[in-house]
Amino acid sequence: MAQAAQLEQQIILNLAFLVQKYSETHPTIQTEAGRVTQSINKGVMLTHQELDFLLDPLTSFEEKGINVSPGDYTFGAY
């Protein structure tokens, strides 16, 4: 379990880095990263939209043609 928690924290840190680095050029990244972070913190299974975001965080849902209702990458080698 400790390894899973460590991986979760690494994903959250990577998302925070992406938001900081790309929020000006990719305006929806903060909202999308927030959804993923919230799901990880709650310990719930990620939706297919959230998983898709993790795989390709710099392409917005709108650009991918995915409709996401409100509320509802591996980075480097591990």
Round to whole Å and give the CA distance between 60 and 4.
27
Q: What is the pLDDT of residue 13?
A: 95
Note the pLDDT of residue 37: 95
Q: Which amino acid is at 45?
A: M
Question: What pLDDT does residue 25 have?
Answer: 86
Count of domains observed in the chain: 1
Residue 30 confidence (pLDDT): 92
Residue 65 covered by a domain: no
Q: Please indicate, yes or no, if residue 27 is contained in any of the structural domains.
A: yes
**In the chain, which stretches have pLDDT less than 70?**
60-78
Q: Which domain holds residue 17?
A: 2-56
Decide: pTM greater than 0.85: no
pLDDT at 61: 53
pLDDT at 63: 58
CB 14 within 8 A of CB 73: yes
Task: For residue 40, tell me if it sits in a domain.
Answer: yes
State the pLDDT at residue 28. 86
